[in-house]
Amino acid sequence: MAFGARLAAAMDQHGPLCVGIDPHPGLLAAWGMEDTARSLVDFGDAVLEASAGECAAVKPNAAFFERHGSAGVAALEHVLGRARELGILTVLDAKRGDIGSTMQGYAESYLRPGAPLEADSLTVSPYLGFGSLKPALDLAQEHGKGIFVLALTSNPEGPEVQHAIAPDGRAVAAVVAEEAAALNNGASPMGDVGLVVGATVGDAVQRLGIDLDRVNGPLLSPGVGAQGAGPAELSLVFGNARGRVLVNQSRGVLQAGPTVEKLREAVIEASSAAKSILR
């Protein structure tokens, strides 16, 4: 089954929550854990056990694993494999972006079935040109995987590139959205090419002439709830596309650890809040 259909089914069953797996040093310390690769395994296992059956997906952040070298990458491999065993969809947050054979290499690392770091979907950067993503897009389509393309991020530096005007007069973010829409055209219940759109970008979607509903793909959105975005902000940013928003929660859930019981309570609460805020 294609990724978009699998994600839509998971969102229908469990709600729109995506739980981040971000074992940064401060959080490990708050959990009473040493900053080691072994701790990353224990951290990931706890989040996965708490999240199973309570959210649509989880999002491991590759950077917090890679900083521990080969042992950290092995910990990420374990977390991705354990998520598969539990039947939880994964969004690997690696933001890869390159050209030609290098992009092909990234794609094979994360999207090829049987790869050690196989994930259900991958975040990518389009800022070497959307066409540079073709190796990842092709491999994802071949194997029923998903791609989340950075479009309108919530960091203050984002507009320098994303709001810039391309030679054809469109904003760069609008070009990204239209390319994704073309790839998702006709897909049901939604396509496999999603966008990363921050919930706190205000009226940027309207100002830049972006039609998120026409994208017809999942919209991975940080910034909901504790980070400031409520129903009014979500309505402004996503409009009629709110039903395809995948709400990312990391800090708000993970601070409840280290016990699985407390984490599960936080996941359930975040899931309920995400459902309510997107109505």
Give the list of residues 6+ apart from residue 131 with CB closer than 8 angstroms, or none. none
Q: Which residue in the list 59, 95, 145, 275 is annotated as catalytic?
A: 95
Maximum Cα–Cα distance for the chain, whole Å? 53
CA distance 94 to 106: 10
DSSP E strands, the chain: 17-21, 57-60, 89-96, 121-124, 146-152, 193-197, 219-221, 245-249
Residues 6+ apart with CB under 8 A from 123: 91, 92, 93, 94, 95, 96, 148, 149, 150, 196, 220
Determine the angle formed by the axes of helices 69-86 and 37-51, rounding to 10 degrees: 20
Q: Which residue, chain included where needed, has tokens 């026409």?
A: 214
Structure-derived torsion over alpha carbons of residues 137, 248, 110, 29, reported in degrees to the nearest 10: 160
64 sits in the region (left: phi over 0; alpha: psi -120 to 50; else beta) called alpha
Write the DSSP assignment of 119-153 as a string of letters.
-SEEEE--TT-GGGGHHHHHHHHHHT-EEEEEEE-
Active site residue 134: no
| Residue with token string 């999240």 | 51
Annotated catalytic residues are: 95
